[in-house]
Structure 1
């Protein structure tokens, strides 16, 4: 009997060792959430059509038009969100990261974002009531995540954790929560749920929150930046990424292609500093 128990214990240890070995500690993964500016609202250009293979995206929906299947990794050529979105800040976040990290390090992103949504859509306990009242055009996007964007993000993140290590969370949201004094608490609620559901240690997983289009670009939601600036007071391991000087598009709500590239680089610059690196190359 003791011999059998010993064999069982040995098999368990070996299985755990194999699982641990399959996880690449040099594969850094980032979860990216928000609304349309995180989706990407600017057309990619020719220079964006190639990417370092060390920068990967896990597709969070099935995209037949791109030849991508949900839950698989692909070279991070835009679009990185759903099948027909555009270039966003995540593109040049990842490109800048791999350009400045050691060659042995890969970077992967999972982007789950819904244009026009409030932060409430990522509230795991109350998302359904918000989704029910969403406009028809938004419901179609929500449906692509089986009605639960937060749930899809967690599902994909758990798959990704078999391959690498979650190093941070990128957020770009706020345009749909203007003057919401509770926004920082709502963001903290989403963050806390992710830490719990993915068994992450908060001190090791910073959240980087980008500003909306800045007042220097006549941003129509620039007033929200005053609230975003207070996020570190509610969520200690969070950092605000300035949008000052990031060129916007004609609607003064979304960034231009150049603006997204610059904002993405700024996300990367902050993350690199948190990892102990200095930015020396842009791509």
Structure 2
């Protein structure tokens, strides 16, 4: 019996040792979620397709036409969300980090976003009822995440934790919740759940939330920014990414490609500051 117990203990030690060795502390992981502006509404351009191989994406859905499989890592060439989405703030967030972090640090992003979705879609308690009444086009997008975007985000995050360390969460959502004074509390529920489900420490995992397209650009949801800016009062480790000066698409709801690049850099610059690094210069 003693011999069996010793062997069992050795086996457990080896398993945990292998896991620890596989996890690279210099692989920084970031979770991204939200609606269409995080998903990426603008078409990416040629300049967006040259990417440092240190910037990686963990594929959120199967994309056979692109040779990508869910749950596998790839160089972060757009699209970073689903198969036919566009450029997202995550693109230039990752570029900004890799340009300014030490060369032995890699950056990985996971992007699970759904255009048009209220924040209720990312709460597993409210999502089934929300999906039931959603329009057909949204149901098709949600189906790519097995009708559980939050569950897919956690599933992928746990895969990512085998390779690296989760350093932060990026959020861009609010257009569909414009005027919702309970939005900050709804975000806190999701953030707290992510922290618990992934065994994270909230003081070590900041939440970066981007403003809606600004009033200076004629943003039709700019009024939501006054609510978004109160998020740090509810989630102490939350930081707001300003959208002023980020250029708009014609619909005044989405950013254009240049606007996504600027917003993404701002997410990156804030995260670098939180990690204790300075931006070396403009990209």
> What TM-score results when the alignment is normalised by the length of structure 1?
0.98
* CA distance, structure 2, for counterparts of residue 163 and residue 145 of structure 1: 22
Alignment partner of 1:93 is 2:93: yes
1:23 counterpart = 2:23: yes
Aligned residues: 283
Structure 1 Cα separation of the partners of residues 225 and 188 of structure 2: 17
User: What are the residue-to-residue correspondences of 1:45-60 with 2, within 5 Å?
Assistant: 45-60=45-60
In structure 1, what is the Cα distance between the partners aligned to 2:281 and 2:158? Answer: 31
2:35 is aligned to 35
- Return the offset for 1:282: 4.2
1:99–1:281: 8 Å Cα contact kept in structure 2? no
TM-superposed CA distance for 1:11, in Å, is: 2.3
User: What's the offset of the Cα at 1:15?
Assistant: 1.7
Match of 2:271 in 1: 271
User: 1:113 — aligned with what?
Assistant: 113
**What is aligned with 2:69?**
69
Q: CA deviation at 1:7?
A: 2.7
Kindly report which structure 2 residues correspond to 1:204-283, keeping only aligned pairs within 5 A, or say none.
204-283=204-283
Structure-1 separation of matches of 2:90 and 2:8: 45
CA contact (8 A) 1:44 1:86 kept: yes
CA RMSD of superposed structures (Å): 0.8
Preserved contact between residue 28 and residue 106 of structure 1 (Cα < 8 Å): yes
Who is 1:173 aligned against? 173
**Aligned equivalents of 2:282 and 2:2: distance in 1?**
60
Report deviation, 1:6.
Answer: 2.1
User: Gaps (5+ residues) in structure 1?
Assistant: none
Find the counterpart in structure 1 of residue 2 from structure 2: 2
Q: Please list every run of 5 or more consecutive structure 2 residues that lacks an aligned counterpart in the other structure.
A: none
- Whole-Å separation in 1 of the counterparts to 2:245 and 2:120: 29
Residue aligning to 1:131: 131
Structure 1 runs of 4+ with >4 Å offset: none
